[in-house]
A = this chain, B = another copy of it.
């Protein structure tokens, strides 16, 4: 049975913000070194005003070629993608990209740990869902056009991540049980 964290509320804070707070805690307690990768930006124009900082005056968002986060934990390379959905019955695969799947498969092949952190914001539940469990759904989608994973499958084949005030998404506690 899964616990709903809505009582101990983190509503209003995005998954990414929660993970960033968690990573800062991990870093400060010397548990792991895991960072958000900066948003990739194509810089087109920069102005260099006298006596002040360079200003980027024209730039565009680029498609990320990998995942949101990576780093090291207990000697292992860790790499993951965070996704949030308001959907109550399924996780849509539409905002995952082919090159992210390829990247994650590659990481696992080279000995790393790669997974998704998926939040169902309507339930305020956040799951660690291993890459290995998601890939079959991705290839099923490419074949028959089904574009999502049922909520029940995420709850069964993923692991609910505990919420605490300082460790808002304590995903490493789940990594401990799944990968070590």
Q: List 30 A-B contacts (CB under 8 A).
A: A27-B106, A30-B106, A30-B109, A33-B106, A33-B107, A35-B66, A37-B37, A37-B38, A38-B38, A38-B41, A38-B62, A39-B41, A41-B41, A41-B43, A41-B56, A53-B60, A54-B60, A55-B59, A55-B60, A56-B56, A56-B58, A59-B59, A70-B70, A72-B107, A72-B110, A72-B111, A74-B111, A75-B77, A75-B110, A76-B111
> What is the minimal beta-carbon distance from A150 to any residue of chain B, in angstroms?
31
**Within the complex, what minimum Cβ distance (angstroms) separates A167 from chain B?**
18
Q: How distant is the Cα of A66 from the Cα of B38 in the complex, in angstroms?
A: 11
A112 at the B interface (CB under 8 A): yes
